[in-house]
Amino acid sequence: MSGNCAIREVAKDVWTFSFPFARFGLIPVGGRSTAVKLKNGDVWVLASTPLNEETKNKLGELGPVKWIIGADAVHHLYLGEFKKQYPDAKLIAVDEAIAKKTKEDLKFDGVNDAGTQIQHCYFSGFKNKDVAFFHPASKSVIEADLLFNLPATEQYSMTKSSGYFPASSNLNPYSWFHKRFAWSLGVDKEAMKRDVKTVAGWNFERIIPCHGDVIEKNANTAWREAYKWYLD
């Protein structure tokens, strides 16, 4: 993975670490970690990609990593790697992810309590038990599997591949395919309606997904379109 990571500051104090990643070794959905430098200088990281040298170097420049976040039940592969590197950081994940890490003897630290700097909404009715995070200072929503924006152009920008795959290329917020995808993963429709509305009520302009390109503007509109069937 070394050398394949595209790192950039998408907004003041918000950095993304974008990697190539193919689901089932075939579908190029990409992977992304996101780091936020908080007002006190501490760093909050949604950790979803390998902790390679480029990532470590950039995080070292930003400040002390004090929060390591698992976004849902399935984005947990690298939590132990991050915790080993940053032992003083609080490790936060949903119960389903914690249960999968019992063999690693990791100490988890309960709720995401970074105060009002990072707000969150837990989607209890979503199959993967995702959490949406909101950084008001940069008007950014950070999430894993709630919203895709394929193709994963940036995540494959350091490779010889375009990241384009015909079967998944229209998994973006404005497609019927994404509406169907979001509806099918809602295992509790009423809970989903509640939480979709909570996120829609946040004042954000950007969505930073784990899979696909960052939505740089009009992101609230994109969210409402992706989840239209829950909002109508």
Q: Identify the CA nearest to 44 among candidates 89, 109, 108, 10.
A: 89
More confident residue, 47 or 116: 47
Q: CA gyration radius for the chain?
A: 16
Q: Which CATH superfamily is domain 6-231 in?
A: Ribonuclease Z/Hydroxyacylglutathione hydrolase-like (3.60.15.10)
More confident residue, 3 or 93: 93
As a whole number of angstroms, the distance between CA 84 and CA 107 comes to 11
Residue 207 has pLDDT above 70, yes or no: yes
The mean predicted confidence, pLDDT, of the chain is: 93
Q: What angle do CA 195, 200, 205 make, to 5 degrees?
A: 135
Q: Identify the CA nearest to 7 among candidates 44, 83, 61.
A: 61
Q: What is the pLDDT of residue 1?
A: 40
Give the percent of the chain with pLDDT over 70.
94
The alpha carbon dihedral of 138, 97, 175, 229 has a sign of negative
Average pLDDT over residues 53-63: 97
Q: What is the pLDDT of residue 169?
A: 75
- The string of DSSP codes covering 122-182 is E-TTBTT--EEEEEGGGTEEEESSS--B-S-TGGGTTSSS----TTTTT-STTSHHHHHHH
As a whole number of angstroms, the distance between CA 22 and CA 1 comes to 13
Residue 2 has pLDDT above 70, yes or no: no
Q: What is the pLDDT of residue 19?
A: 96
> Residue 196 in contact with residue 227, Cβ under 8 Å?
yes
pLDDT tens per residue, range 134-189: 999 999 999 999 999 999 999 999 998 777 766 667 899 999 999 999 999 999 99
pLDDT tens per residue, range 88-121: 999 999 999 999 998 998 999 876 656 669 999 9
